Each structure stands twice: as structure tokens, then as C-alpha cells.
Amino acid sequence: MPKHHRHHRGPHGHGRKRARRGAVGRSILTLLAEKPMNGYELMAELDERSGGRWQPSSGSIYPALKRLEQRGFISAATSEDDDKPRYELTDEGRQRLEAFAADGETTPPWEGDVARHGEIRGAMAELMGPARQIGRFGSADQITAATTAIKDTTSKLYQILADGPGEE
């Protein structure tokens, strides 16, 4: 239910709930400079490198790939074994990256305290397991107990958010 609780912050905190314009394209270019990948791999890589802070959806990645290809910055590598379509950087793409670098746009959008920020995601993933079990197979008593525990935690997290703001 709570979709709000939005934090507004200064220009350079880590507070983008949405990537800045062009961030997806720049990220894709940066990653493809390392090695050719497909859309799914790009999503996973971005997710991991940002420590889960940024998880671009397929609705961001695939249109972006299409745009980049149309502009000639990347190309779908038509490999012999056609089952794995991989994108790779073209010369124009490399130039584009250099242009960014020359422009001071050196910081990849996924920069930050990666290690710490991933922790919550991991913890949540672990919580999913038993929650799912109880939700699916649990008795009425178990459901009551579990729901209470989860709601308590929700309150606690809101408290944490309210207590110490994330701004530095």
C-alpha cells in the first residue's frame, strides 16, 4: 500500500529512484565495452554492480538496446550458433563512450557503497522462503503469527526511516 514515503535529496546523494535520462544507454555502452552481452545479462550485471540499488527492468533495457542499435552504437552480433543473440559495441559506440569520458561523465550510474546496500536485498530474499511456505501451507495459527511478525517488522522499518534520514 505505501507507495509514497518519497525522499527528496540533493544532487549527489544516492537518491535516484529512477535513473537519470540517458543512464541506461550509458550503462549499457560501458558494460558492452567490457564484453558482448544479451539483454538479460545486462540487467543482471547492472543489478549486481549496483548492489541491488538499481534494477533496470526489461522495459528499460530492451527499448534502450533498440535505440542504441538504431543509432549505430551497438550491433546485434549475428553469431554462427544463432541461439544466443549478443550485442557488442561498434566503433561509433566506442567513440560515444570516449565523448562521455571527455565530458567528465566518467561516473557510472551504479557507483556507490555496493557491498552494504546489497545486504537488505539478501535478507529480504531469505525472508521470502519461510513466508512463502507459511503462506501456502500454513495453518491459521501460523498465518496469524507470521502476519503479525511481518507487520511488526514493517513498522520497525518505517521507524528506522523516520529516525535517521538517509541524507548524510
Integer Cα distance of 53 and 88 in angstroms: 25
Closer CB to a second copy, 27 or 93, in the complex: 27
The set of cell numbers assigned to 36 is 558482448
Integer Cα distance of 64 and 57 in angstroms: 11
Smallest separation (angstroms) from DNA to the CB of 67: 5
Integer Cα distance of 132 and 135 in angstroms: 5
Give which of DNA, a second copy, none residue 20 binds (C-beta under 5 to 8 Å, depending on kind).
Answer: DNA
Residues in contact with DNA, shown as a per-residue x/- string from 21 to 60 under the rule CB under 7 A = xxxxx------------xxxx--x---------xxxxxxx
Smallest separation (angstroms) from a second copy to the CB of 162: 10
Half-sphere exposure of 102 (CA within 13 A, CB side): 6
Binding residues for DNA (CB under 7 A): 2-5, 12, 16-25, 38-41, 44, 54-60, 62-67, 85
